[in-house]
Structure 1
Amino acid sequence: MKKLILASAFAFVGLTAVAQSGEEVAMSETIVVSATQDSFSEIETSELPEAVSSAVATNYPSATIDKAYVNDQKQYKIEVSLEGGTTGTLYADENGNWIEM
């Protein structure tokens, strides 16, 4: 009987260790995804594709593009300010389609 209780205790501890190890992996994967999303390089606003500039002008007619960034996947991060002083960040692909980050 002692062996059965001892074996059960070891099995519980082993499963707990595996679960904690899995959580650590998930956390490190989250960090990698976050780092990938932030891997934008600043570009001149004049370097934005026409489709992206047009999408901003169409959807946010009072917006001024302050800064622009691009990543390896040709996704654009655009920092804009509105007439009322509100600022924001928009993300678009090279065809001017809005994406969520």
Structure 2
Amino acid sequence: MKNYALLVFLTFGIMFNAAAKTSSDIIETAIIVKIADEYVKIKSSELTPPVIEEILKQYPTSKLGGAFKNDKGEFKLIMVLKSGTRKTVYIDQHGNWINKR
């Protein structure tokens, strides 16, 4: 009889422990959120003159494959190099290069 009571308590303990662990894992997972910069596609005519000057200095033989802008005034540019490969670069509205990974 004592063995059955011990078995019942052990079973309930394992069930409640498993339920508690699952709910805490769900709460921790829900809290972790990564905020990413959202870039919106723009026309190349919307680039500022300092940005255009820097592009021509750094990439004189490349073509602009795409231009994007975020709320901070930073540009994400997709450059098509002479070899045909694409390179993504970041620059602010004043022509300062930004290192992002």
Runs of 4+ in 1 over 3 A off after TM superposition: none
Q: Normalised by the size of structure 2, how large is the TM-score? A: 0.65
The structure carrying a bigger helix percent of its residues is: 1
The whole-number CA distance in structure 2 between the counterparts of 1:63 and 1:55 is 12
Q: Is the 8 A contact 1:67 1:80 kept in 2?
A: yes
1:28 corresponding residue in structure 2: 32
- Could you tell me which runs of 5 or more consecutive residues in structure 2 were left unpaired when the two chains were aligned: 1-20
Report whether the alignment pairs 1:88 with 2:92.
no
- 2:70 is the counterpart of 1:66: no
Match of 2:46, as an amino acid?
Answer: E
Structure 1 stretches lacking a partner, 5+ long: 1-16
Partner of 2:9: none
Shift in Å at residue 83 of structure 1?
Answer: 1.2
Displacement, 1:88? 0.6
Structure 2 counterpart of 1:88, which letter?
Answer: K
Contact 1:45 1:66 in 2 (8 A): no
Structure 1 residue 81: Cα displacement? 0.3
Matches within 5 A, 1:26-65: 28-29=32-33, 31-32=34-35, 35=36, 37=37, 39-65=38-64
Instruction: Give the AA of the match of 1:81.
Output: V
Q: CA deviation at 1:28?
A: 2.0
The CA deviation string for residues 68-93 of structure 1, in whole angstroms up to 9 with x for no partner, is 01111000000110111111111000
Q: Write the letter of the residue equivalent to 1:87.
A: R
Query: Number of residues paired by the alignment?
Result: 75
Letter in 1 for 2:47: L
User: Whose radius of gyration is greater, 1 or 2?
Assistant: 2
